[in-house]
Amino acid sequence: MTDEAARLEDCSRTCGCCGEPRRGVPDYAFRRPDAVVARGDGAVLHVDSNDLCDVEANGARRVFLRGVLLIPLRAIPGQSFGYGPWVEVQRDDARRYVQATRDGDVGALAPLPATLANDLPGCEGTTGLPVALRGQPNGQRPSIDAAVASPHRLAAEQRDGWDAARLRAVLADGPFCRGTA
């Protein structure tokens, strides 16, 4: 491992959720979709879990699932930076996903079309970006594949990975290990 990779892996910080000290390259998770956080008067939030919610406003219902979008780290072989964003899916697709999860068949479910529902730190302009949601076995959150014929920078970065400079820039942009990356 290079000195640069060692410094990146040694990123120390305090977890924003539990307050516990953490080391290593952080992940970035979202508590809710941006549309839920910014909902206006009259909108009703239905939360089924930390991985499924929907919002009802003006007679329309929007359904969201949370997944994991991994970016390979070229600076630290074998590791990835993980975003934990929400995606918006069609209601019928959400039902199929939930049923497949209950049946233990989520890994066999065909990828679901979705759109990112969060603006990712370091990759602005991602809200509404078309993605594919892929079920994962053993109760893992579904994976999100941004490389769906998209010209957005995120699609190329998910495919090609980040070098150390890009990782440092993203860490500096978000609420990560301030002053250590």
Grade residue 115 by pLDDT with cuts at 50, 70 and 90: very high
The tokens for 163 are: 């070098």
Q: How far apart are CA 25 and CA 21, in angstroms?
A: 13
Grade residue 2 by pLDDT with cuts at 50, 70 and 90: low
Reduced to 3 states (helix: H, G, I; strand: E, B; else coil), residue 86 is strand
Q: So what's the pLDDT on residue 177? A: 45
Reduced to 3 states (helix: H, G, I; strand: E, B; else coil), residue 112 is strand
The tokens for 176 are: 């990560």
Q: How far apart are CA 59 and CA 57, in angstroms?
A: 5
CB-side exposure of 177: number of CA atoms within 13 Å? 18
Higher pLDDT, 177 or 28: 28
Higher pLDDT, 50 or 149: 50
Higher pLDDT, 4 or 48: 48
Grade residue 179 by pLDDT with cuts at 50, 70 and 90: very low
Mean pLDDT of 95-119: 90
Q: So what's the pLDDT on residue 180? A: 34
- Asked if 181 and 122 count as a contact pair (C-beta separation under 8 A), the reply is no
